[in-house]
Amino acid sequence: MANGTEKPQRRPRIGGWKFIVAIILILAYSSSAAYGIMSDTSIHGLTVKMFNISRSCTTDTSTQLKILNFNIRGSIWSTSSLQTSLSHLSFTLSVDGSVLGTTTQSDGSFGPGQSIPTSLTFTHPTLNPTLNLPVLPFSSKLVLTLSATVAAGLYSAAEATSDSTVQNFNTSSC
């Protein structure tokens, strides 16, 4: 500033309103990306598990034929950190490679660390165990498949998941 007309050089400084806006935008983008990933994980992490499985026979009063029933208790959850809603729940049970039947359950939802309990009965009205197989097997491979519309966070999608187990039964008679 020899003659007084020159302005002093401004030093670049960190801060100011542009810097604050940039930080806010970065945080907003990062938060929405993380929320999107958690939503996707909640939907694609859907899990169904069978816990208590029993089989029993009932007799059709009109035909006097025995009908084989499978009773299954289980649970549905997700590997999520978000509230997850399920609608249009449909369960299909396959026993030793043959589809036994399909049943539905009412819509439900669960939060982080929670699950939806299931209590299902599958009956095949034309399956007469005494005609088709005089002795039931002591063990059967069961596959329970769940199909549902899953909504969590930002996303909603139709998903399917299954659980399989080899179940041992106490008796081979009906």
pTM here is 0.77
Model confidence pLDDT, tens digit, residues 97-140: 888 889 999 999 998 889 999 999 998 766 655 555 556 778 88
153 within domain boundaries: yes
| DSSP classification of residue 92 | E
In a domain, 65, yes or no: yes
Number of separate domains in the chain = 1
Where b means 16+ CB within 10 Å and e means fewer, 162-172 reads ebeeebeeeee
Band of residue 38 on the pLDDT scale cut at 50, 70, 90: confident
Question: Residues 9-22: pLDDT tens digits?
Answer: 766 666 677 888 88
> In the chain, pLDDT over 70 holds for what percent of residues?
85
Is 173 domain-assigned? no
Q: What is the domain-level CATH number for residue 48?
A: 2.60.40
Domain with 132 in it: 16-168
Torsion, CA 107, CA 103, CA 60, CA 136, rounded to 10: -130
